[in-house]
Amino acid sequence: MNFQWKSLAAAWMLPTFCLGAWAQDTVKIGVIQPLTGSVAYNGQAFVAGAKLAVEQRNAAGGVGGKKIELVIEDGQCRPANSVNAAEKLIQRDKVVAVTGAFCSSATAAVMPVAEKYKVPLLSGVSSKADLTEKGMQYFFRSAETDRLMSKTFSKILAEKLQLKNVAYIGVNDDWGRGGVEDFSKDLSGMGVKTVMKEYFDHGATDFYTLLTKLRAAKADGVFVAAETQDGSILVKQFKEFGLNTKIFGVGSWATADFIGLTGAASEGVYAAVPYASSMPGERNKAFVDQYAAAYKEKPGKYGAAGFNALNILMEAAARAGKAEPEAIRDALRKTDYQAPNGRYRFTEKGEGYGFDVVLVQIVGKEPKVVAESPTEKP
């Protein structure tokens, strides 16, 4: 999918963004996502879901009689780029809220910026567990944590895949390392031996040295934390290398982009994800139909994340009754949003809970739900 976004020139203004925002012609919400680079497939899918949510809301009258306007920045999953994007959105564009910035390290860098200007920041993707433990008053997360996914599905994976010896491979960032540590800790507690831990950089294209180590490790299962581009290359090379080790993990495994890029090599992969298009329920069926009509493919976890994040922010703005960041922050604390994948609420720390998460297996190029569980309040 190719999406256009605004490329904003640098301009610095006094932080008077909260004054008279409701009097503007539109209510502006900022979006920071990786639209270029190795995670671009996923960031673009998030934007697609966000745009669909905004189109539906605007068609129904918007918020407070005003249309919602998305102002989109490319943070590239890099902390410095994402911080610059946040400064532009808040100071120049006077957005009343921001969603982003995808990678946990980028989101962590943006959090103090949102706190400084007192603008709510909602992450629909970043899953590093400690982000909501930093005492921030303007940060919220409508994403699962890898700690939650591990606690929910490690036992099921260990039993279903009959795991005895597991190798762990993750992208070398906060999210990848966090996922490896969470799953290795929980699986080790069940008596599953760790035989390898390896990391790779974003944008890697040659995994053969790593796969040689994997073959020597004699693992009966390999956990992988990777997004679409990196993950598809790794899994294809895994199959080319002649390895038959069972693959499971977290990331973009259940998305149409991953399955399309990986092809037959995706068959049989297990994924712990917060959303899959095959989840049951009329609300999800309606969302899948709407998304497919707009983009000619079924939504994955990132399309759903963008859709949910914008709906949560727009509902909060409607409850607030005014387009002022602090009022929207207070309204976010009262979130009770019915999503395609369950019901979202927030703890006092801004941690989302109540929505469903699923374990899926790729069968016939479709994510088949193996297990489903609601997220409990932390």
Q: Is the pLDDT of residue 12 over 60?
A: no
- Looking at residue 90, what DSSP letter applies? I
pLDDT band at 23 (very low <50, low <70, confident <90, very high): low
SS3 state at 150: helix
Is the pTM above the cut of 0.75?
yes
For residue 377, the surrounding DSSP H or E stretch is none
Q: Where are the domains of the chain?
A: 21-144+282-355, 146-273
Same fold, 21-144+282-355 and 146-273: yes
More confident site: 14 or 350? 350
CA 123, 128, 134, 139: dihedral to nearest 10 degrees? Answer: 10
CATH topology of domain 146-273: Rossmann fold (3.40.50)
Q: Looking at residues 200-214, what average pLDDT do you find?
A: 96
Asked if 38 contacts 203 with a C-beta cutoff of 8 angstroms, the reply is yes
pLDDT band at 13 (very low <50, low <70, confident <90, very high): very low
pLDDT value for 292: 98
More confident site: 10 or 46? 46
SS3 state at 141: strand
SS3 state at 37: coil
For helices 174-188 and 104-117, the axis angle rounded to 10 degrees is 120
Per-residue pLDDT tens for 249-305? 999 888 999 999 999 999 999 999 999 999 999 999 999 999 999 999 999 999 999
pLDDT value for 215: 97
For residue 196, the surrounding DSSP H or E stretch is strand 193-200
Number of Cα atoms under 13 Å in the Cβ half of residue 279: 31
Rounded CA separation 324/210 (Å): 50
Given the candidates 3.10.580.10, 3.40.50.620, 1.10.3720.10, 3.40.50.2300, the CATH classification of the domain at 21-144+282-355 is 3.40.50.2300
Per-residue pLDDT tens for 307-332? 999 999 999 999 999 999 999 999 99
Amino acid at 136: M
Per-residue pLDDT tens for 134-161? 999 999 999 999 899 999 999 999 999 9
pLDDT band at 11 (very low <50, low <70, confident <90, very high): very low
Q: Quickly tell me which residue has 């489903």 as its tokens.
A: 372
For helices 146-160 and 174-188, the axis angle rounded to 10 degrees is 40
Q: Is the pLDDT of residue 19 over 80?
A: no
What count of other Cβ atoms lies within 10 Å of the Cβ of residue 263? 13
